[in-house]
Amino acid sequence: MHRSKINKKNLKEVIQKNIAIALQEDIGNIDLSSELIEEKSSAKAYVKSKDSAVISGIPWFNATFLMLDPKIKIKWFIKEGAIVKKNQRLCEIYGKTKPILSGERVALNFLQTLSATSSITHQYVQAIKNTHAKIFDTRKTIPGLRIAQKYAVTIGGGNNQRMGLFDQILIKENHIKSSKKMDDLLSLSLKYVKNKDIQIEVENLNQFEKAIEIGFKNILLDNFSIKNLKKAVLLNKKRAVLEASGNITLKNVKKIALTGVNRISLGSLTKNIKAIDLSMKIETFKSL
């Protein structure tokens, strides 16, 4: 199982696009507040975390300031993926005061949002670390931040599912209801994809046995009870990759992992997140 499906070249392009949109949204044609500051003044600022967290999003943070002023310097005291404590200083920013102030909110928005995803992912990964199951994300991401959040999942130790509708087939309940015959869905799918990593979602053991009989090799067990997950694993006999999904929490994730499923996918990694509390402060100021 591959942790990340994100192409590095594509990631750089995504970062630039994310930042350009965010800066346009926040600044538009002018930062009226920063117009009050002297053009030539310089400053040193720092960022600290008010929460414990797994930090993710440093490339977005850096690129935000550099897009506003390529001469800005940023000194990090941690690396991407570091576990930080409350009140820990993360980095220092040096440069002209105006672009530092203009980029503050956008840079922090990326850092605190992506760190939220990597932090909760890390908690789930740690909760099942002594099992054979792996944590996976879903497509339940913040619009416009699909790749950014999936990147953050990998920083937290999780794995990426399909990036979108374009790179893997997942036959869900509505696809089954919209088709004439469940038996035809696998053969139809093979016309569109070269490999056999075609996933089907089932909601009960009868559907599961039908999916196995048809020949599906990747089956999502949606909202199965612990008891039925165990039954599915026994019936499977290692013929298909089994993935548990639905109503999974930190309280029950290890029990689910111990049923013998291969994957556990959670939309909450990217949609039910609480931003990490970060703050940026001007520490020194020089007027020229």
Give, in order, the Cα–Cα distances in Å from 171 to each of 40, 161, 216, 220. 58, 14, 11, 9
- DSSP secondary structure string, 206-262? HHHHHHHHHT-SEEEEET--HHHHHHHHHHHTTSSEEEEESS--TTTHHHHHTTT-S
Q: Does the domain made of 168-269 have the CATH classification 3.20.20.70?
A: yes
- Residue 68 exposed, middle or buried by CB count within 10 Å (0-12, 13-18, 19+): buried
pLDDT of residue 175: 84
Token pair for residue 24?
Answer: 């346009």
Task: Tell me how far apart the alpha carbons of residues 198 and 139 are, in angstroms, rounded to a whole number.
Answer: 16
Tokens 């953050």 correspond to 152
SS3 category, 265:
strand
Beta bridge partners of 95: 43
Beta bridge partners of 240: none
The string of pLDDT tens digits covering residues 136-195 is 999 999 999 999 999 999 999 999 998 888 888 888 888 877 776 777 787 778 777 766
pLDDT of residue 262: 97
**Dihedral of the CA atoms 77, 81, 87, 93 (nearest 10)?**
40
pLDDT of residue 1: 44
| Domain residue extents for the chain | 8-124+274-286, 168-269
Beta bridge partners of 6: none
Q: How far is CA 3 from the centre of its chain?
A: 12
Length of the chain, in residues: 288
Question: Which homologous superfamily does the CATH classification assign to the domain defined by 8-124+274-286?
Answer: Quinolinate phosphoribosyl transferase, N-terminal domain (3.90.1170.20)
Helix 8-27 and helix 58-68: axis angle, to 10°?
A: 60
Nearest C-alpha neighbor of 64 from the set 129, 32, 109:
109
pLDDT of residue 212: 94
Nearest C-alpha neighbor of 277 from the set 43, 163, 113:
113
Which portions of the chain are predicted below pLDDT 50?
A: 1
Give, in order, the Cα–Cα distances in Å from 246 to each of 21, 168, 203, 235, 266. 33, 20, 10, 21, 7
The model's pTM is 0.93
Alpha-carbon dihedral sign for residues 270, 271, 277, 282: positive
The string of pLDDT tens digits covering residues 193-217 is 766 578 999 999 999 999 999 989 9
